[in-house]
Amino acid sequence: MWYAFPSKTQRPKDLCSVGGCQFGRMSLVSKLNPVQCHTGDPWLLGLAGGCSGAFAVMLSREGELLGVDQEDLGMDWRESRYVGEPTTAIEVMLDRLTVAAGMTSRSELIQQISHLTLGISGADPRFWPELYTCAIEHIGFSRSVINVSSLSEVAHAAAFAGQPGLLVRAGHGSSAFLKLRDGSAILNGGWGSFVGDVGSASWLGRKLVGLACSLEDGLVDQPAQNLVSSILSIKNYQRIIELLQEVERERYYSGGYRARKRLWELGMHTLTRAEVGDPMARRLLNKAVDQLVGSLRPLLSHIPCDTRVPLCIRGSMATASPLFCQTLVERLLDSSNSLEEGSDSGYSSAVGVGLLTLNQAKPSALAQTRFLKAIKDHPQSQKWGTDAQLYRRAFLGITQ
């Protein structure tokens, strides 16, 4: 497998440099192996993403990595930046993979695909799976090849390399995905910013805005006043009303996506203050942990008494705040004797959707091993890592 990038002098100007490596927003495509392209064997395609980006992984049934792509357009039908953005993201990636495969049309590529796994924020059996199936059908795929999953399941497959475990994600939103040894799986949370996201950075941002309002009304103590003042200073606001106006302006003109992102930023600033010992910020951090642990109690009750399940924490909150991650792990381990601290495989969600796609196709026993080896041997394997800060625009998918 090799890259479809043109030579350096011909690369598009919109290449962005991340961690010393260059990645093209419009050209991050691996050219499909020309030998594999003409064997006539069916291909497998994994598509996944959230509100801020999308990615694609093309595989053979034997686990050979054929091609990859990444797109800045989002794939969240609930909180997209404009109507039709998710469908556009999928079509753009399909068209680039078509060119990389040396095919003449998107329909030719679609006919080659025997299994398609779609992992999207909010897409799961609880939340309008028919909506996503119909959208993919409209692009040209047969309903029989489509499998709709959630981004939480994709992230779980990546964190545990397809093995059992409990993954808790906290960042823009919050969710948990439990997979047991008998193959059963349960998703908790992930309802979105309108009704859910408990304990997330967006939730923290809402609490901070609430403190700012209470400060204006004279209803908060000195630690809360100090925290709000420090956030205002970081954001270069002179008055509290400027903070409120910005959040409301984003909500009014750009919808839920931008407002949620603004609240997430405020929540992340709160975590930064907690790391340096701010008493009010630490109080809010502990409340966020309380919310997450409380929301997970029904999920933990499904773990058999004689079973030990490894625990993994992912998301921008865990990446940015060791204190948050450590506190959450300790509280969860204390709340259930069925949990044990697990180790993260280090794979990104891009790898996770590849694993789910392989499972859907029920390939040979060696297919998963071959796929994971292909990832490790990949000439740009650092792009498959989980460091959200360093590889944010590198082909990794969405770290919530």
Domain chopping of the chain, boundaries: 2-161+346-384, 201-285
Strands (E), the chain: 2-3, 15-18, 21-24, 30-31, 43-50, 53-60, 65-71, 113-120, 146-150, 165-170, 174-179, 185-189, 309-314, 339-341
Helix (H/G/I), strand (E/B), else coil: 165: strand
Q: Phi and psi of 45, rounded to 5°?
A: -130, 130
Q: Which pLDDT value is given to residue 83? A: 54
27: number of Cβ within 10 Å:
19
CA within 13 Å, CB half, 193: 25
Asked whether the CA dihedral 9, 10, 14, 16 is positive or negative, the reply is negative
As given in the structure block, the two tokens for residue 143 are: 């309903």
Residue with tokens 């989002």, as numbered in its chain = 74
Distance CA 338, CA 165 (A): 11
Q: Which pLDDT value is given to residue 17? A: 23
Q: Which pLDDT value is given to residue 393? A: 27
Q: Which pLDDT value is given to residue 215? A: 82
Task: Say if CB 161 and CB 347 are below 8 A apart.
Answer: yes
Q: Which pLDDT value is given to residue 372? A: 85
End-to-end CA separation in angstroms for the chain: 30
Homologous superfamily of the 2-161+346-384 domain (CATH): ATPase, nucleotide binding domain (3.30.420.40)
Per-residue pLDDT of the chain (400 residues; tens, 9 = 90+): 323 322 222 322 222 222 222 222 333 334 344 334 444 688 999 998 876 778 888 889 888 888 888 887 767 666 655 556 778 888 888 998 888 888 889 999 999 999 999 888 766 666 666 777 888 888 999 999 999 888 889 999 999 988 999 999 999 889 999 999 998 999 888 877 667 789 999 999 999 988 888 888 888 788 888 998 888 888 788 777 887 788 788 777 666 667 788 889 999 999 999 999 999 999 999 999 999 999 999 999 999 988 899 999 999 999 999 999 999 999 999 999 999 998 888 788 888 999 999 988 887 778 888 888 877 776 554 444 443 332 222 232 323 3
Q: Which pLDDT value is given to residue 73? A: 74
The overall pTM is greater than 0.75: yes
- What are the Cα distances from residue 336, in Å, to 70, 118, 183, 322, 340? 39, 32, 21, 21, 9
Distance CA 188, CA 353 (A): 19
